[in-house]
Structure 1
């Protein structure tokens, strides 16, 4: 695992497409129990090098009902974004994650984590990539059907403050789904 993570840290596969250059943000351990697959690091995370070190991470930890210490213990959680580096700014937020990372690195990383009990797919990029033809027509459909992807996957929206409209429109998520997510995480940890 250390060799693989070292190779990822040296990755330059999409260097020409990254406005701030490569800075892969990924964490994993052979004993990781839960894998979190999100989008890509934002600017704050790019600068700190700490995954989910922002408002989105704070909300995610709340949804999981875990402390920072639990969250950053790689024996508990591996963090594999779809794109490992900050993709740059777009018109209405960050650009989509680069498409090179997941096919290049995810299988190798997941193969080295045989104790994984759950993969949390955050947002439509991760959900489309991993669920393929099982993904719903919309993010809302995929998240509302989360139980159909268990026990391997748990589907949730992105915890970004930018998603406040979706969360206010879909209050069932925090009322009904988050408690089930918390129980699943608690049972595994």
Structure 2
């Protein structure tokens, strides 16, 4: 069985779907064998692609606010592992970025997860992560899945994406701020 460092080397050198990536392959993730909380989002945006730092953008700022953690805590891989559905920037679509490439999760996720024995909570951010990990257990739409987050605990915590594009969703769903975020913060605090 491979150890985490050799798997991470393979991931960082992955060119599996490079022909489909407008900015080339640049896998962005951050995990450690001691990670307690795993964040599974969509795919890096252009700023994250350029810096190689996951969640290094306005969405990351909002996610850290939701979690009530500072940057030092967020980027401590012994606390937070970060493993998106697609490790590289997928390109631009008509409205926002394209979906994450479908090759990453089935190729790498289980191999990487198996190297994190201390995982206590997996944050499933957005519909792609929820579809992949919850499958038929998810509700009819993302809003209903997030609203019923307690059904997926203690292993999974589904969340909407913290993108500035979702501000309207946040205004239409005030229960997220009053019911979901306090529970999220309590669970994260208990693990850090």
Aligned to 1:62: 65
Alignment match of 1:146 (pick from 111, 130, 149): 149
What is the aligned partner in structure 1 of residue 33 from structure 2? 30
Q: Which residue is 1:83 aligned to?
A: 86
**What residue number does 1:159 align with?**
162
1:2 offset after TM fit, Å?
1.2
Alpha-carbon separation, structure 2, partners of 1:152 and 1:144 = 16
* Residue deviations 1:34-80 (CA, integer Å, cap 9, x gap): 00000000000000100000000000000001110000000000000
Give the drift of 1:3.
1.0
SS of residue in 1 equivalent to 2:25: coil
Matches within 5 A, 1:1-189: 1-189=4-192
User: C-alpha distance in 2, partners of 1:128/1:135?
Assistant: 7
Structure 1: stretches of 5+ with no match in the other structure: none
SS of the residue aligned with 1:93?
coil
Q: Distance in 1 between matches of 2:53 and 2:60?
A: 10
RMSD after superposition: 0.4
Deviation at 1:175?
Answer: 1.3
TM score, norm. by length of structure 1: 0.99
Report the Cα distance in structure 2 between the residues aligned to 1:48 and 1:135, rounded to whole angstroms.
33
Distance 2:101 2:142 in 1: 20
Structure 2: gaps spanning 5 or more residues: none
Q: In 1, distance between residues paired with 2:125 and 2:177? A: 14
Secondary structure in structure 2 of the residue aligned to 1:78: strand
SS where residue 90 of structure 1 aligns?
coil
Number of equivalences: 189
- How far does residue 125 in structure 1 lie from its aligned partner after superposition? 0.3
Structure 1 runs of 4+ with >2 Å offset: none
Find the aligned partners of 1:186 and 1:167 in 2 and give their Cα distance.
23
Q: Distance in 1 between matches of 2:125 and 2:111?
A: 20
